[in-house]
Amino acid sequence: MNTSVRTGKSYDETIHRNGRIWMIAAICITQGVPLAISLYFGVWPPLGKLIAGLLPTMLVFWPIAIVEVLTFTPMLGSGGTYLGFVTGNLSNLKVPAAISAMQQAGVEPSTKEGEIISTLAIGASSLVTNVVLVSGVLLMSYLLPILESPALKPAFANLLPALFGALGVVFISKNWKISVAPLALMIGLFAAMPSLPVGILIPAGALVSIGVARIMYKRKML
Amino acid sequence: MIDIRNSPFLFGLGAFVALFVTAQSLVFIAAAWKEGKRLGIPSATMRKALVGSGTFSVVPSIAILLAVLTLAGALGLPLPWIRLSVVGAITYELPAAETAAQAFGTSIKSTISDPTVFSAIAWAMSLGSVFAMVLITLFAKRIQSGIHKAQLKDTKWAGLLISAMFMGLISAFLGSALGGGLVSILALLASAATMAIFGLLIKKAKMAKLENFAMPVSMITGMAVAALYTIARNGGVR
């Protein structure tokens, strides 16, 4: 089934139209969640502080979003893209699920058959994640008092070092040469000014990291 | 003061989001199935794709659930559940939440009980991840038809660029973790060591199935070490 079947435009046209409608609905719903919280509880964060809290991560994640859209869209096909980008967890779940389903069915991405198999795979994957999360959240709501017990406080207080220790190992082992400059910068900054907020550290780290990586890439050191 | 974080209203929002995602999945599966039939793809092949992908997704979904659990201490259950049901992934949600909390002079290291800070975190998580959805709405059709493929010619640099950006972010948080003192450094090292062991098992012992659990188990190990160290230092639970 490796050959692409030529068909009329109807499915393609419909999937893009419907996909856009669902995507706009998803944008409204995801932004509607904080809006509902603010309206219902009557709490509005001051705009200046919100922007200060939002900018540093946007600086890193919005360019990543562009690369992800350009990379994953041809891989997942139209239906898979509209569904996958709404349900999230792309690189850790949806993309591998779609690719392995296409491999097992013996079809290629970017063909009519690949489009169908990928959409089915991402749909099934989203449903399963949903079932697991809903049942897990129901179960965990009984465990909330335990989660908030004083003995576990230091555990949750160290969530960030726990995430970034593990992520650090992943990225350093992937490409240790890229990691040297930003790590050196952070150790230096920490020694000089120990209490700088991450809102300043993130753009500094990202700019130095990208700049040095670009120079090394141009000099064929990567 | 009511606890916004675990209020019935937020659980209601979570249920609504879960229903939306379920509905979209079912609609897209139905449309793809119908088109597959028209193209002459055997029903057995399509059924295999559905069942295979569903089975494939169980373990990674449990990992996503564990990520919800790690955020629940600071943010309650519903918000992390909502964020990881749509668009989100732990690698984005956690830095976004912490950066927003710090702008308000606090941190998700402790329970977020101030409603204003909680709402700011919800806004930051949601606004920060909307960009990809806007891009898809505007450009997915054109990317699919091949017009934009040329933009990503240098795929090696694109991969390096993502790694470099992530490394900048990771190093920033590693740097600020140093400020947390010995407990934080121990948590960091324990989690890093666990991840390294997972890496060895996955690569050298070819245990690829462990891949899904590497991140949550490493995080929980780091967090457990922090809790145990604090208990030991205080001479028991207080």
B70-87: per-residue pLDDT in tens?
888 889 999 999 999 888
The 10 Å CB-count burial string (b at 16+, else e) for B180-200 is: beebbbbbbebbbbbbbbbbe
Residues of chain B positioned with their CB less than 8 A from the CB of A105: 45, 48-49
Question: For residue B151, is pLDDT > 60?
Answer: no
Same domain for B160 and B237: yes
End-to-end CA distance of chain B: 25
Contacts of B110 in chain A (CB under 8 A): 153, 157
Contacts of B148 in chain A (CB under 8 A): 70
Residues B76 and B173 in one domain: no
Partners of B203 on chain A (C-beta within 8 Å) are none
From residue B10, alpha-carbon distances to B2, B76, B82, B89 in Å are 12, 10, 9, 20
How large is the average pLDDT for residues A87-98? 86
Q: Give the side-chain half-sphere CA count within 13 A for B195.
A: 26
B34 and B145 co-located in one domain:
yes
**Alpha-carbon gap, residue B138 to B78, rounded angstroms:** 30
Considering the domain architecture, whether residues B120 and B159 belong to the same structural domain is answered as no
Answer whether B143 sits within 8 Å of A207, measured CB to CB. no
Q: Answer yes or no: is pLDDT of B192 > 60.
A: yes
The domain in which residue B47 lies consists of 1-151
Q: Which two tokens stand for residue B114?
A: 């101030």
The alpha-carbon radius of gyration of chain B (Å, integer) is 21
**CA atoms of A135 and A154, how far apart (whole Å):** 27
Residues B143 and B196 in one domain: no
Q: Of B151, B176, B192, which residue is a domain's last?
A: B151
Q: What is the mean pLDDT of residues B143-150?
A: 60
- Considering the domain architecture, whether residues B113 and B138 belong to the same structural domain is answered as yes
Residue A17 has pLDDT above 90, yes or no: yes
- The ipTM of this complex is 0.80
Number of structural domains in chain B: 2
Last residue of a domain, one of B151, B186, B220: B151
The residues near A213 (Cβ < 8 Å, ≥ 6 apart) are A178, A181, A222, B160, B161, B163, B164
Provide the 8-state DSSP code for B3.
-
Which residue, of B134, B151, B168, is where some domain finishes?
B151
Decide which of A3 and A111 is more confident.
Answer: A111
Q: How many CB atoms lie within 10 A of CB A37?
A: 26
3-state helix/strand/coil string of chain A: CCCCCCCCCHHHHHHHHHHHHHHHHHHHHHHHHHHHHHHHHCCCCCHHHHHHHHHHHHHHHHHHHHHHHHHHHHHHHHHHHHHHHHHCCHHHHHHHHHHHHHHHHCCCCCCHHHHHHHHHHHHHHHHHHHHHHHHHHHHHHHHHHHHCCHHHHHHHHCHHHHHHHHHHHHHHHHCHHHHHHHHHHHHHHHHHCCCCCHHHHHHHHHHHHHHHHHHHHHCCCC
What pLDDT does residue B146 have?
64
- Between B123 and B1, residue with greater pLDDT: B123
Tokens of B66: 């564990």
Q: Which two tokens stand for residue A107?
A: 């079809």
- Give contacts of B 96-135 with A, CB under 8 A: 96, 98-104, 108-111, 115-120, 122-135
pLDDT of amino acid A10: 81
Are B117 and B49 contained in the same domain? yes
| Same domain as B190, residue B134 | no
Among A171, A138, A100, residue whose Cα is nearest residue B161: A171
Shared domain for B167 and B192, answered yes or no, is yes
Closest in A24, A97, A202 to B168, CB measured: A202
* Residue A23 CB contacts under 8 Å (≥ 6 apart), including other chains: A82, A85, A86, B133, B136, B137
Closest-CA distance of chain B to residue A13, Å: 9
Q: Which of A56-65, A175-184, A190-199, B145-154 has the highest mean pLDDT?
A: A175-184
Q: Would you state the pLDDT for residue B150? A: 44
| pLDDT tens per residue across span A148-168 | 778 888 888 888 888 889 988
Of A9-18, B43-52, B162-171, B208-217, the least confident: B208-217
Residue B91 CA neighbour count, 13 Å, CB half = 22
Tokens of B31: 């449309």
Residue B202 sits at the chain A interface (C-beta within 8 Å)? no
Question: Which is nearest to B85 in space by CA: B21, B39, B30?
Answer: B21
Choose among A94, A177, A187, A182: nearest CA to B166: A182
CA A93 → CA A85, A88, B58, B94, B160, distances in Å? 12, 9, 10, 18, 21
The 10s digit of each residue's pLDDT in B20-72 is 999 999 999 999 999 999 999 999 999 999 999 998 888 788 878 888 888 88
Same domain, B137 and B206: no
Nearest to B66 by CA among A198, A136, A206, A95: A136
Same structural domain, B35 and B101 = yes
pLDDT tens per residue across span A112-143? 899 999 999 999 999 999 999 999 999 887 87
For B229, the closest chain A residue by CA position comes to A154
Give the C-alpha distances (Å, rounded to integers) separating B3 from A29, B15, B94, B114: 23, 18, 21, 9
Mean per-residue pLDDT of chain B: 88
Cα–Cα distance, A166 to A173 (Å, whole number): 11
Asked if B94 and B118 sit in the same domain, the reply is yes
Backbone φ/ψ region at B104: left (φ over 0), alpha (ψ -120 to 50), beta: alpha
Phi first, then psi: give them for residue B76, nearest 5 degrees: 80, 180
